[in-house]
């Protein structure tokens, strides 16, 4: 898939930060300085990778404190839709979160497909949507930046960026927690402890747990589904060996052993109906007609959001986990120049099963197994030179992705292809992606007068994605695709076995037999320019034009031919 770019132009006014924050219900102090003559506390944000009063930042930002997030029930990134106009959250059919801001998103839940709305914790990237489950734990605040953020937050931020700021270690002892009980025996608990370890060290440890009973019920038998079982944790250690140097180590992680969600049968849309069966074609007429009759006899789900049906012989649970280790260092080279380094390593694992078709038939069952290893490094210099604030830096990232999806289709109406069988019951699509990115960027703001500031920034990015894919299958799959290949290519080939890649070459229709390989190379130049006019302390009028970059990706697809990649 080719890369996508996004360009946004904005012109607006901010009065006492209200236009920048979505609602007075949560437009309170994320962090405060003494109140000025306006009577409003200053909301401090780091949307431009330095601490600023929100009313001095010419960006469209939604900001909320950790206490406000808790009071509004914001427990995941998807819950940000409660406080952020223009933000939408969709859970894919396999449970992966998909985020959209102002209509800009990327509707692909493939493991290794980067979102168009990027997510960070303390400026450390969570490269894929599946990583973000534990991001809302023990927060100081959250900042949602709308529009392309490609200069300071990198590629894949064409829709915007979500930056969580975790609560930091304290120099005095603190501890706290909360516990709630709800419907379906839901127990939510969260606690933290923070304090000093000597004169130069401080720590903070936070954790949360969610346990709940099943909420879906089976309307054809006595069975339930939908339990929740998640654990989340974060440990931080801050070391200040001198006034010039601060080091912050963080370890974040979560584990999810919840059930997946079953689909609801609402109706049938057959690719091959009774008329097509009577007319004949490339399928077994008798077996196809029998399968259609079975589906016709099924009762659709009642009009109840909790009612569903699913396979009785499969464990529809998860065993997913994630951890991330990061180190941030800030070294003040002088009173006006700071060197910042952010290093992070992440590892994600998924192992789950889901029933998409909402029946007890093997029609669209999925077993998924995959993992991601991710490394990122950012190095930047920032400083002030009188009326000029500037920043220069570079990024490097490497992501190694493995994903294998089993598709169960033993009862499907369109897999009884060969007359008399054998028929297709299961196939497995395996992909790997080796993704490497690097970028250099810069940004500067010039105060032309006490009330007028102009700004500009640019980033150059290069990206390389080495991809492989292979579809293997059971004996019915091997035989069916072997026959199709022989018929379409006109050249009989060797029999396929369990290790044969059954995708067909787009030109010759021969089985590729070994994994399909491709490389996507991209480069991009992103930019932003703007002007801020601040006629008084409480009023900001700004105009901004920015362009971001969304990298391309390869899908996880059981491709019949290589053209589908």
- pLDDT tens digits, one per residue of 426-449: 999 999 999 999 999 999 999 999
Pick from 515, 288, 544: which is nearest to 418 by CA? Answer: 288
For residue range 289-334, list pLDDT tens digits in order.
999 999 999 999 999 999 999 999 999 999 999 999 999 999 999 9
pLDDT for 155-206, tens place per residue? 889 999 999 999 999 999 999 999 999 999 999 999 999 999 999 999 999 9
* Residues 35, 38, 41: CA angle, nearest 5 degrees: 35
For the residues 413-432, what does the mean pLDDT come to? 94
Q: Is the confidence at residue 81, as pLDDT, over 90?
A: no
If residue 482 lies in a helix (H) or strand (E), which one and from where to where? Answer: helix 475-489
**Cα-Cα end-to-end distance for the chain:** 8
Tally the C-alpha atoms within 13 A of residue 448's C-alpha that lie toward its C-beta: 9
In the prediction, which pLDDT does 83 show? 87
Compute the half-sphere exposure of residue 146: CA atoms within 13 Å on the CB side of its CA: 22
Going by pLDDT thresholds of 50, 70 and 90, the confidence category of residue 66 is confident
SS3 for 31-53 is: CCCCCCCCCCCCCEECCCCCCEE
3-state DSSP assignment of residue 190: strand
How does pLDDT run across 326-339, given as a tens digit for each residue? Answer: 999 999 999 999 99
Q: Which long-range contacts (CB under 8 A, 24 or more apart) does 288-296 make?
A: 288/413, 288/414, 288/416, 291/411, 291/412, 291/413, 291/416, 292/413, 294/361, 294/411, 295/268, 295/270, 295/359, 295/361, 295/413, 296/268
17-26, 261-270, 441-450: range with highest mean pLDDT: 441-450
| β pairing state of 365-385 and 452-473 | unpaired
In the sheet that 307-308 helps form, which strands lie side by side, from edge to edge? 224-225, 216-218, 307-308
Q: Which of 10-24, 32-46, 270-284 has the lowest mean pLDDT?
A: 10-24
Rounded Cα distance, 558 and 279, in Å: 28
> Rounded to the nearest 5 degrees, what angle is found at the Cα of 124, between the Cα atoms of 120 and 129?
45
Mean pLDDT of the chain: 89
**Cβ-contact 148, 157 below 8 angstroms:** yes
- The predicted-structure confidence for 461-518, as pLDDT tens digits, reads as follows 999 999 999 999 999 999 999 999 999 999 999 999 999 999 999 999 999 999 999 9
Q: Is the model's pLDDT at 36 over the cut of 80?
A: no
State the Cα–Cα distance between residues 350 and 318, nearest whole angstrom.
7
Decide which of 92 and 172 is more confident: 172
Kindly tell me if the per-residue pLDDT of 254 is higher than 90.
yes
pTM: 0.89
Exposure of 62 by Cβ count < 10 A (0-12 exposed, 13-18 middle, 19+ buried)? buried
Give the pLDDT score at 43: 76
More confident residue, 169 or 553: 169
At 194, list the tokens: 């923070």
> Where are the strands (E) in 257-387, listed by range?
307-308, 320-332, 337-355, 365-385
CA 530 to chain CA centroid, Å, is 29
DSSP 259: B
Selection from 53, 47, 112 nearest residue 551 by Cα:
112
How far is residue 457's CA from residue 526's CA, in Å, rounded to a whole number? 8
């Amino acid at each position: 898939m080719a890369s996508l770019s996004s360009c946004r132009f904005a012109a607006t006014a901010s009065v006492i930060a209200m236009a920048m924050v979505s609602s007075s219900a949560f437009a309170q102090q994320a962090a405060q300085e003494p109140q000025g003559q306006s009577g409003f506390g200053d909301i401090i944000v780091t949307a431009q990778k330095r601490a600023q009063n929100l009313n001095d930042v010419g960006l469209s930002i939604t900001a909320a404190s950790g206490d406000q997030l808790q009071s509004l029930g914001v427990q995941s990134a998807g819950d940000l839709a409660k406080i952020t106009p223009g933000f939408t959250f969709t859970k894919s059919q396999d449970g992966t979160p998909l985020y959209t801001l102002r209509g800009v998103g990327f509707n692909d839940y493939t493991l290794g497909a980067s979102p168009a709305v990027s997510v960070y914790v303390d400026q450390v990237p969570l490269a894929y949507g599946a990583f973000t489950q534990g991001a809302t734990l023990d927060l100081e605040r959250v900042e949602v930046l709308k529009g392309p953020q490609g200069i300071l937050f990198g590629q894949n931020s064409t829709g915007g960026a979500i930056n969580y700021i975790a609560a930091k270690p304290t120099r005095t002892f603190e501890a706290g927690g909360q516990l709630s009980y709800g419907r379906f025996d839901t127990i939510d608990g969260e606690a933290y402890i923070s304090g000093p370890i000597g004169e130069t060290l401080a720590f903070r440890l936070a954790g949360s747990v969610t346990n709940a009973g099943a909420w879906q019920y089976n309307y054809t038998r006595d069975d339930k589904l939908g339990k929740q079982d998640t654990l989340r944790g974060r440990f931080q250690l801050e070391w200040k060996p001198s006034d010039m140097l601060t080091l912050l180590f963080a370890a974040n992680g979560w584990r999810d052993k919840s059930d997946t969600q079953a689909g609801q049968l609402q109706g049938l849309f057959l690719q091959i109906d009774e008329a097509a069966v009577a007319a004949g074609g490339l399928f077994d007429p008798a077996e196809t007609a029998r399968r259609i009759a079975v589906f016709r006899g099924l009762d659709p789900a009642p009009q109840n959001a909790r009612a569903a049906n699913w396979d009785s012989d499969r464990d529809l649970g998860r065993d997913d986990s994630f951890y991330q280790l990061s180190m941030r260092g800030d070294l003040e080279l002088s009173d006006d120049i700071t060197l910042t380094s952010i290093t992070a390593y992440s590892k994600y694992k998924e192992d789950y099963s889901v029933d998409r078709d909402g029946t007890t038939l093997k029609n669209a069952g999925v077993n998924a197994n995959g993992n991601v290893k991710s490394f990122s490094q950012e190095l930047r210099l920032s400083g002030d030179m009188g009326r000029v604030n500037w920043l220069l830096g570079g990024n490097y990232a490497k992501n190694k992705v493995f994903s294998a999806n089993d598709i169960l289709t033993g009862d499907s109406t369109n897999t009884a292809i060969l007359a008399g069988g054998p028929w297709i019951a299961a196939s497995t699509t395996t992909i790997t992606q080796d993704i490497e990115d690097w970028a250099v960027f810069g940004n500067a703001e010039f105060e032309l007068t006490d009330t007028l500031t102009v700004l500009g920034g640019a980033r150059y990015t290069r990206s390389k994605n080495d991809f492989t894919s292979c579809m293997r299958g059971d004996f019915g799959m091997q035989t069916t695709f072997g026959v199709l290949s022989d018929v379409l290519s006109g050249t009989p080939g060797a029999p396929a076995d369990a290790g044969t890649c059954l995708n067909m070459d787009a030109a010759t229709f021969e089985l590729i037999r070994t994994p399909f390989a491709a490389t996507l190379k991209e480069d991009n130049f992103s930019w932003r320019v703007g002007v801020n006019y601040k006629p008084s302390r409480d009023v900001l009028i700004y105009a901004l034009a920015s362009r971001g970059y969304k990298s391309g990706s390869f899908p996880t697809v059981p491709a019949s031919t290589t053209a589908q990649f």
